[in-house]
């Protein structure tokens, strides 16, 4: 996944409400009140719309389809494939048969060669796809005739079918281009329910219904994603009627609720549970954050319950690690309340002594560091300030500082960052790229350069074993090791909150990953929406 989409969280950078970004209602970019078009305010835009570089890798892209897709309950279902895969050779081969009659939006037929091209290009080290490690198990992908694809794995990989939601691209278009720089990145062609009609960078993307879509013509004919990076501006545009819907922080979404919390003034709020966590990365290369005692003390000093209650207004939960407490893979018993006495004791034992100003020092080094958060992101700002306040109570001086991602990105290996992450489907999907030492500094993977042999071993075991008991033990061990040796301070898991005009039926939410906006959200199934009666 490309860098901006990985960091495409609630806000990427501050945006003023200028002429280009804040159009007036009725100018063609705002909400028009029609049930066959919708304008949605999102916080960020991708750098690319090419799956070869990571766009839509977790499914739900409106331009593309994968071999499989996920339903409202995240169960895998056939998409471009006729059925779920045939699994053979003790889990080493997966065979898919393609659906009949599927065409790309340019009228060319989908073939097995397109599937092979897509996966081989993603796996090619020359392709700038930082999610390549997610397909590490793939040894070979080959076509068996025009309508059958066979994957051969290096080792049995239990959740492999879930990886085949990867969108398929047309070889006859993308095959003649450099995947890193070609026009396909901004002029995509796929098999999905919508086609890209226009893209004004930093302002909006407009999608039109694909008349060739194999799933039937969508009732919503035009979808506009208005890029409005500032939370307050997005809320204002929604209130003015310039937007039909928007992603909003809980406190701003609350203004649209009545006492029942459901519907008000012709709009409806939707809350989606998510794996989306907020965490403070603690780079091992920094003299202060690289000290294990500092990291353990911060883990004990933070008041997660207060953050969930006050910052998220209850629309979220405390995070005691990368997996939510209600996930079936969560390690029971690692929940821990704020404990300032324990934090201070950890620092005392490690030789960090309080100076006259209350900030601890050790061998002349002050327990102080900078914590960056992206400009304009109110939720992350509030987390950063609360974290700094809790840290100060233990004698650690944290300076919260806002910056654009262009400033933050080159400093991630040395400075703390209020980061986000989380993937649905299987623990391997989110944890390997987040924590494995082999991926340290690989794009936004393992941002703090965390290196723990026990965690690496657990990740490798969880990835390569097919035995569920063995996998559960591995991920349980991993989570407990993160308590003993935290590379980050996990703070909260956030519910995603959306507000939409009440003009459609068929809207549902899924359990969502960190990346949301263009695919995840109530519009994950927009091709199935119908005008309200």
- Is residue 408, in this structure, part of any structural domain at all? yes
Reduced 3-state DSSP string for 109-171: ECCHHHHHHHHHHHHCCCCCCCCHHHHCCEEEEEECCCCEEEEEECCCCCCHHHHCCCCCCCH
- Is residue 454, in this structure, part of any structural domain at all? yes
CB-based contacts of 244, cutoff 8 Å, min separation 6? 31, 32, 38, 39, 40, 500, 501, 503
Say if residue 325 is in the same domain as residue 209.
no
Residue 23 DSSP one-character state: P
Distance (Å, whole) CA 352 – CA 183: 55
Say if residue 75 is in the same domain as residue 160.
yes
Residues 424/426/431/436 CA torsion (nearest 10 deg): -140
Angle at CA of residue 230, ends 226 and 233, nearest 5° = 75
pLDDT, position 249: 85
Whether 222 contacts 194, CB under 8 Å: no
- Is residue 490, in this structure, part of any structural domain at all? yes
Per-residue tokens: 290: 């690289």
Distance (Å, whole) CA 108 – CA 343: 63
| For helices 427-435 and 468-484, angle between their N-to-C axes, nearest 10 degrees | 40
Say if residue 265 is in the same domain as residue 413.
no
- Is residue 194, in this structure, part of any structural domain at all? no
Say if residue 486 is in the same domain as residue 501.
no
CATH number at residue 181: 3.90.76.10
Of 124, 156, 189, the one marking the end of a domain is 189
Q: Which residues of 27-63 are buried (b: 16+ CB within 10 A; e: fewer)?
A: eebbbbeebebbbbbbbbbbbbbbbbbbbbbbbbbbb
CB-based contacts of 383, cutoff 8 Å, min separation 6? 278, 307, 311, 373, 418, 491, 492
pLDDT, position 416: 98
CATH number at residue 479: 3.10.105.10
Reduced 3-state DSSP string for 52-114: HHCCCCCCCCCCCCCCEEECCCCCEEECCECCCCEEEHHHCEEEEEECCCCECCCCCECCHHH
Say if residue 337 is in the same domain as residue 262.
no
| For helices 453-464 and 427-435, angle between their N-to-C axes, nearest 10 degrees | 150
Say if residue 378 is in the same domain as residue 241.
no
Report the phi/psi class of residue 265: left, alpha or beta, with left for phi > 0 and alpha for psi in -120 to 50: left
Say if residue 501 is in the same domain as residue 485.
no
Q: Which domain holds residue 143?
A: 53-189
- Is residue 195, in this structure, part of any structural domain at all? no
Say if residue 298 is in the same domain as residue 228.
no
pLDDT, position 22: 34
Beta bridge partners of 138: 153
| For helices 292-301 and 340-349, angle between their N-to-C axes, nearest 10 degrees | 170
Q: H helices within 159-312, ranges in order? A: 160-163, 171-174, 231-240, 250-253, 292-301, 304-306
Residue of 185, 193, 56, 41 whose CA lies nearest to 127: 185
Helix or strand holding residue 349 (H, E): helix 340-349
Whether 383 contacts 491, CB under 8 Å: yes
CATH number at residue 522: 3.40.190.10
- Is residue 209, in this structure, part of any structural domain at all? yes
pLDDT, position 80: 98
Say if residue 417 is in the same domain as residue 455.
yes
pLDDT, position 257: 66
Please provide residue 522's backbone torsions phi and psi, each rounded to the nearest 5 degrees.
-60, -20
Q: How far is CA 415 from CA 40, 116, 284, 321, in A?
A: 34, 41, 9, 20
Of 146, 167, 189, the one marking the end of a domain is 189
Of 189, 220, 243, the one marking the end of a domain is 189
Distance (Å, whole) CA 68 – CA 218: 19
3-state secondary structure of 224: strand
pLDDT, position 32: 52
pLDDT, position 38: 94
Say if residue 389 is in the same domain as residue 468.
yes
Q: How much helix, strand and coil, in percent to the nearest 5, is found in the chain?
A: 30, 25, 50
Helix or strand holding residue 482 (H, E): helix 468-484
Tens of pLDDT along the chain (533 residues) come to 333 333 333 322 222 233 223 333 333 345 556 789 999 999 888 889 999 999 998 888 999 999 999 999 999 999 999 999 999 999 999 999 999 999 999 999 999 999 999 999 999 999 999 889 899 999 999 999 999 999 999 999 999 999 999 999 999 999 999 999 999 999 999 999 999 999 999 999 999 999 999 999 999 999 999 999 888 899 999 999 999 999 888 888 888 764 333 444 588 899 899 999 999 999 999 999 999 999 999 999 999 999 999 999 899 999 999 999 999 999 999 999 999 999 999 999 999 999 999 999 999 999 999 999 998 888 999 999 999 999 999 999 999 999 999 999 999 999 999 999 999 889 999 899 999 999 998 888 999 999 999 999 999 999 999 899 999 999 999 999 999 999 999 999 999 989 999 899 898 898 988 877 677 788 899 999 998 87
Distance (Å, whole) CA 191 – CA 367: 54
Q: What is the pTM of this model?
A: 0.84
3-state secondary structure of 419: strand
Q: How far is CA 417 from CA 3, 128, 369, in A?
A: 15, 24, 11
- Is residue 468, in this structure, part of any structural domain at all? yes
β-strand 37-42 against 222-227: which pairing, if any? parallel
Say if residue 302 is in the same domain as residue 432.
yes
pLDDT, position 33: 64
Q: Which residues of 396-413 are buried (b: 16+ CB within 10 A; e: fewer)?
A: bbbebebbebeebbeebb
Q: Which residues of 499-523 are buried (b: 16+ CB within 10 A; e: fewer)?
A: bbbebbeebebbbbbbbbbbbbbbb
pLDDT, position 255: 80
Distance (Å, whole) CA 437 – CA 424: 22
Total domain count for the chain? 3
Say if residue 475 is in the same domain as residue 358.
yes
- Is residue 196, in this structure, part of any structural domain at all? no
């Amino acid at each position: 996944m490309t860098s901006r989409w990985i960091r495409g969280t609630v806000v990427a950078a501050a945006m003023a409400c200028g002429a280009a970004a804040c159009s007036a209602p009725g100018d063609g970019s705002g909400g028009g009140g029609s049930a066959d078009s919708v304008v949605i305010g999102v916080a960020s835009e991708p750098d690319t719309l090419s799956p070869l570089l990571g766009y839509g890798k977790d499914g739900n892209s409106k331009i593309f389809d994968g071999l499989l897709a996920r339903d409202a309950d995240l169960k895998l279902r056939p998409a471009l494939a006729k059925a779920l895969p045939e699994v053979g050779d003790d889990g080493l081969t997966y065979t898919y048969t393609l659906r009949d009659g599927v065409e790309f939006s340019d009228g060319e037929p989908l073939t097995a060669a397109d599937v092979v091209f897509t996966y081989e290009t993603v796996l090619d080290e020359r392709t700038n796809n930082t999610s390549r490690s997610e397909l590490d198990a793939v040894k070979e992908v080959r076509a068996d005739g025009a309508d059958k694809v066979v994957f051969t794995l290096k080792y049995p990989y239990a959740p492999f079918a879930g990886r085949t939601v990867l969108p398929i691209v047309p070889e006859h278009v993308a095959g003649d281009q450099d995947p890193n720089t070609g026009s396909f990145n901004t002029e995509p062609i796929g098999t999905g329910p919508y086609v890209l009609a226009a893209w004004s960078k930093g302002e909006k993307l407009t999608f039109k219904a694909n008349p060739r879509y194999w799933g039937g013509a969508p009732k919503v004919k035009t979808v506009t994603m208005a890029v409005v990076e500032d939370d307050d501006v997005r809320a204002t545009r929604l209130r003015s009627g310039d937007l039909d819907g928007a992603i909003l922080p809980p406190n701003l979404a609350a203004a649209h609720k009545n006492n029942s919390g459901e519907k008000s003034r012709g709009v409806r709020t939707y809350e989606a549970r998510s794996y989306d966590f907020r965490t403070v990365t603690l780079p091992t290369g920094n003299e202060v954050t690289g000290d294990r005692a500092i990291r353990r003390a911060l883990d004990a000093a933070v008041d997660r319950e207060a953050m969930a209650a006050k910052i998220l207004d209850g629309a979220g939960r405390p995070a005691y690690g990368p997996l939510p407490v209600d996930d079936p893979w969560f390690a029971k018993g690692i929940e821990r309340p704020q404990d300032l006495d324990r934090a201070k004791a950890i620092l005392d034992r490690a030789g960090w002594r309080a100076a006259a100003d209350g900030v601890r020092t050790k061998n002349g080094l002050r327990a102080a560091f900078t914590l960056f958060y992206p400009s304009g992101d109110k939720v992350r700002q509030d987390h950063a300030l609360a974290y700094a306040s809790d840290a100060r109570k233990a004698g650690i001086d944290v300076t919260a500082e806002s910056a654009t991602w262009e400033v933050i990105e080159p400093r991630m290996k040395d400075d703390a960052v209020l980061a986000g992450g989380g993937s649905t489907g299987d623990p391997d999907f989110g944890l390997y790229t987040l924590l494995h030492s082999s991926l340290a500094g690989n794009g936004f993977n393992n941002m703090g350069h965390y290196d723990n042999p026990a965690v690496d071993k657990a990740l490798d075991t969880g990835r390569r074993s097919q035995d569920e008991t063995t996998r559960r033990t591995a991920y349980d061990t991993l989570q407990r090791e993160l308590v003993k040796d935290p590379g980050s301070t996990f703070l909260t898991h956030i519910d995603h909150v959306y507000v939409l005009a009440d003009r459609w039926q068929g809207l549902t939410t899924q359990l969502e990953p960190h990346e949301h906006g263009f695919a995840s959200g109530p519009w994950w199934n927009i091709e199935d929406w119908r005008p309200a009666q």
